Structure 1
Amino acid sequence: MKISRVEAIPYAIPYRKPLAFASGAVATADHVLVRVHTDDGVVGQADAPPRPFTYGETPTSIRSVVTELFAPAIEGLSILDREQVRGRLERTVGNPVAKAAVDMAVWDAIGQTLGASVTELLGGFTDRVRVSHMVGFAEPAAMVAEAERVRDTYGITVFKVKVGRRPYRLDVDVCRALRAGLGDDVELYVDGNRGWTASESARALAEMADLGLTMAEELCPADDVLGRRWLVQQSPIPFFADESVARPGEVTRELLSGAATGISLKTSRTGFTTSQRLVGLCEGLGVEVVVGNQIDTQVGSLCSAAFAAAYELTSRRAAELSNFLDMTDDLLADPLVIEHGELKVREGPGLGIAVDPERLERYRLDT
């Protein structure tokens, strides 16, 4: 059960349309498939989605750090030595997405070796999770049309609305249009990706007070220390931290300082081993968690769903698992299915990731 080899395979699959938001835009899934091989023939897999506008990582940097630093550091360890693996990865500063992918691939290998699903190994709370769909920048009519299509086709009734444009009333108008078009039975929440100042955020929330928003996420930068605390103190709805809480210490800082009242947990950023720590921390503090999306492929969404289903805390809110619907293709041989607004976790050992070799050959960039 020892780690014998670690691979990092870059690939690119276009989206049908770019997803735009305050900190950037994504038109192509320029990702890295990470594989952890064991000496008894098991291959664990996970996806690494670079987000240079958030964490500074690129496909090239992820591939380099995985093959040149991480692989030599963990090869020869047992796949059960999760804490040793984590400790050796943490010797390198930063690179959260690369670390997360290696960690999740190790867990996939563990599950396959032991004959248990990763969800069962992590906690096994449920076998399915509700799905939230993320709607990017567009004109109000286009955003309403997309949300209506997703609701009618997949039964999704929870929507994350990207905001953070200037003037902020562009996004206020969008949220009003979504509420009018979708009715009161649909849950709406907003994510600013640090696009507004604290005062702009306060004005926008005041103008949307009658829309029944359930939470707001990262409306202004974490570096706006006093402004952010001032905003959260007067916010009529919960304020969730996302990009500002990539590490456990950052979660503690934001929550205890009053700069946030909940967190967005992304397995593509903290893997499974560190994400476990975050769940325990938030449970101890009585803090809500939403499982977020890094504009993931089906491989990444499958990892997020496996973790979200493992714990009561992470399964309470709808998880952001559906943006792969906007991709032109995917690597999975057996596509994910969203029905009645829910995604069922794969049964069987590990994560249930079966990559189609022909698709991988078609989209990989290193051959």
Structure 2
Amino acid sequence: MQNDSSGSSFFNSLPTQTNFAVLSNANVYTPLPEHWWVGTSDIIGSTEAVSNGRYKTVNMVAAAVISAQINAHDGASFPFIFGGDGAGFAVPEAWRDDAAQALAAVKLWAREEFDIGLRIGMVRVSDVRAAGFDVMVARFQVSDGVDYSMFSGGGLTWAEAQMKAGANLVPEAPAGTKPDLTGLSCRWNHLPSRYGTILSVIILPCDGTSAVVFSDIASRVLSIARNLMREGHPVDENGPGVRWPPIGAALETYARRGGGTLRAARRKTLLESFVAWTLIKTGLVIGGFDARRYRRMVGNNADFRKFEDGLKMTLDCDPATEKRLRSLLVKGSEAGIIRYGIHTQSEAMMTCIVPSILADNHVHFVDGASGGYTKAAQTMKGPMKL
């Protein structure tokens, strides 16, 4: 692959924010360079798949898009974001071909392994701006080892809409192509609500809503969420629960088999997960791997809230806070400021990308365990976009 050091330098030079509330302010976002490319993906028929109980599969395919990009670019830094039934990212010009090939390989993999259709597209940032939108990014640091990208400017949403309309599509890879999904896993237990319910929340600005006005309502939402234990974080401070065999073992075998057999991949997954489970239960440290510390870091690194041309959150919420939150969103919708969707469920879940268990740079995408962001998007209320 062609590695663009200037591309990585641009992203790495961006300041990291440690206060999530600051990210509601458009002034902390930096426009991407004109020559960069935006990649988008979306699972076709995700609503039906969720209704059929396949939401863990939906999350796995969406996370596979990011995993394939990380591996295609040798772990170099670039902005990406997980959306439940899709994902978005941006890369410099020199990475464009590798990015497209990785997307195409995941599309083939999703169809062959899971009979899931995946839309994928790429568009140049300059074309996004020509359409009247922008792609701006910021970095939110959740731990010493991990920061997540936030997007603003409406450009990512526009690019996804164009893709769904049939523009800027990337074709499926030739038969026999395998994506590199090293590190993609889903071994942790579901995360039951400890305080009432798991809320999947999507809040988007209406057409004509200024960045300042949306920032104000987003800040008020986050102020309400701050009253929750750990600001609504669904993962316990000691990390998620684990059992053996893990509930996601079957899905993970499809991600890691490559050109091998499912049986061999399953044996490897079960063996590794058994060792990890044993170490967590006993507290033993082997080869520098402290499983209990790793488990705590999973919670620290988990991505349960994000700005993606709007605000998305997966919150462990008590009834009183949920009532306050809904009241604020209803008022914002009636005022023509926002559109919003909420889905309630009893559990959250995680899909993970773990380059190495000995480093702290593992990322964990949180969503509701019975519909999550996909179901929340179906319930959107407020003035329709023009």
**Is the pair's TM-score, using the shorter chain for normalization, greater than 0.5?**
no
Q: TM-score, normalised by structure 1?
A: 0.27
